[in-house]
Amino acid sequence: LKGDGSEIVLDLFCGTGTIGLTLARSAKHVYGYEVVPEAIADAQKNAQLNGISNATFVQGDLNKINETFGKEFPKPDIIISDPNRPGMHMKLIKWLLEVKAPRIVYVSCNPATCARDLDYLCHGVVCLLLLL
């Protein structure tokens, strides 16, 4: 992040918000998406416990996005994607290529699906790869 509070961060597969909330103090706003309702409740609670008011967490299945996905937040400057082992659905990869965020951080615990997803993504955007 630039650190000047001007950037929009989209945290996909955000879980309890750990990555997004870590960046929130340096961002304009963080939007987190996660399929597990309990994780979203925990992310909201974590934001409250840490005095972070510029984070919004939404429960939704990123494997089932449609043409309205992304309309509820401004264009992100940074997208963080931390998908589960199967990686990202092609609908989400297509959306990422269309939105053309300047930076995507892909966090992965599965080199095979990471390589597959990055093969698609890196044709249109600059990628930063983090393998855990």
Query: What domains sit in the chain, N to C, each tagged with a CATH number?
Result: 8-131 (3.40.50.150)
pLDDT for residue 131 is more than 80: no
Distances (CA, A) of 64 to 35, 67, 69, 73, 81: 10, 10, 10, 18, 16
Q: Is 98 annotated as a binding residue?
A: no
Main-chain dihedrals φ then ψ at residue 26, nearest 5 degrees: -105, 0
Q: State the catalytic residue, choosing from 14, 109, 114, 127.
A: 109
pLDDT for residue 114 is more than 50: yes
Instruction: Give me the mean pLDDT over the 31-37 stretch.
Output: 97
Asked about 109 being catalytic, the answer comes back as yes
pLDDT for residue 126 is more than 80: no
pLDDT for residue 125 is more than 70: no
Q: Is 119 annotated as a binding residue?
A: no
More confidently predicted of 35 and 94: 35
pLDDT at site 132: 47
Instruction: Give me the mean pLDDT over the 114-132 stretch.
Output: 69
Q: Is 57 annotated as a binding residue?
A: no
pLDDT at site 124: 53
pLDDT at site 67: 87
Instruction: Give me the mean pLDDT over the 16-26 stretch.
Output: 97
